[in-house]
Amino acid sequence: DGGITQSPKYLFRKEGQNVTLSCEQNLNHDAMYWYRQDPGQGLRLIYYSQIVNDFQKGDIAEGYSVSREKKESFPLTVTSAQKNPTAFYLCASSMEADTQYFGPGTRLTVL
Amino acid sequence: AQTVTQSQPEMSVQEAETVTLSCTYDTSESDYYLFWYKQPPSRQMILVIRQEAYKQQNATENRFSVNFQKAAKSFSLKISDSQLGDAAMYFCAYRISQGGSEKLVFGKGTKLTVNP
């Protein structure tokens, strides 16, 4: 089946710890995106990548890092510099300039 | 600034009735795309419908249709024959081009409750 997978579904982080969220797609999409969703808010863009080995900051990139070594994969690392990381994280992908499709999300909680 | 406004934080509808969710947006571009996404309790974002700004005809997908008023920058979603499975958060989004890439700007959402 074609689609976007995210893992893990739930993730817990201790203070000062870096954690990595996985996003994989087998849709052959060029572009991939990471969004953050907080209660009562819409989605806000963290990072996006249009092609392999290239990515750009979104609106709230501070405290996050990404890599795009393969077309299918776009992992997001939440670093200890992110002071309020508890949120729901959604990954999306699209063909160039087309509709974005979303994965099932990862819920990150800071202990 | 590019913004999307959903003025109804919550709406409710009786099963089999019709409901309309409002969305307005702010843009200086002439060519763009608008979307409605549904987020059920599972929290996965699901595309409901999309509208190209250059098309005057309103988009329709089965029981879902939009009323696109370009001059007024309005993009409302009509759900006909509402079903219990339609209960979800609905997000309006507008796609902009920035730095050679495409990004979505989302409203804060409308929570739709469907009463049996």
Q: Which of A12-16, B15-19, B63-67 has the lowest mean pLDDT?
A: A12-16
Return the percentage of chain A with pLDDT > 90, whole number. 77
Average of per-residue pLDDT values in chain A: 92
What residues of chain A, 38 to 97, have a C-beta less than 8 Å from chain B?
Answer: 40-45, 48, 50, 56, 58, 88, 90, 92, 94, 96-97
Output helix, strand, coil percentages for chain B, rounded to the nearest 5.
Answer: 5, 55, 40
Output the pLDDT for position A42. Answer: 86
Closest in B50, B99, B106 to A42, CB measured:
B106
Contact B103 A105 (CB under 8 A): no
Return the percentage of chain B with pLDDT > 90, whole number. 76
Output the pLDDT for position B17. Answer: 98
Q: Is A31 on the interface with B (CB under 8 A)?
A: yes
Q: Which of B31-35, B44-48, B74-78, B98-102 has the lowest mean pLDDT?
A: B98-102
Chain A residue with minimum CA distance to B10 = A40
Strands B110-115 and B10-14: parallel
Q: B106 to chain A: which residues are within 8 Å by CB?
A: 42-44
**E strand residue ranges, chain B:** 3-5, 10-14, 19-21, 24-26, 33-39, 46-52, 60-61, 64-69, 74-79, 88-98, 101-106, 110-115
Chain A residue with minimum CA distance to B92 = A42
N-terminal to C-terminal alpha carbon distance within chain B: 41
Beta bridge partners of B61: B64
Alpha-carbon distance of A60 to A57, in angstroms, equals 8
Q: What is the rounded (10 degree) CA torsion for A110, A64, B37, B72? A: 120
Output the pLDDT for position B97. Answer: 75
Mean pLDDT of A16-27: 94
SS3 B85: helix
Beta bridge partners of A106: A89
Output the pLDDT for position B90. Answer: 97
Output the pLDDT for position A11. Answer: 93
SS3 B86: helix
Mean pLDDT of B94-99: 77
Mean pLDDT of A71-95: 94
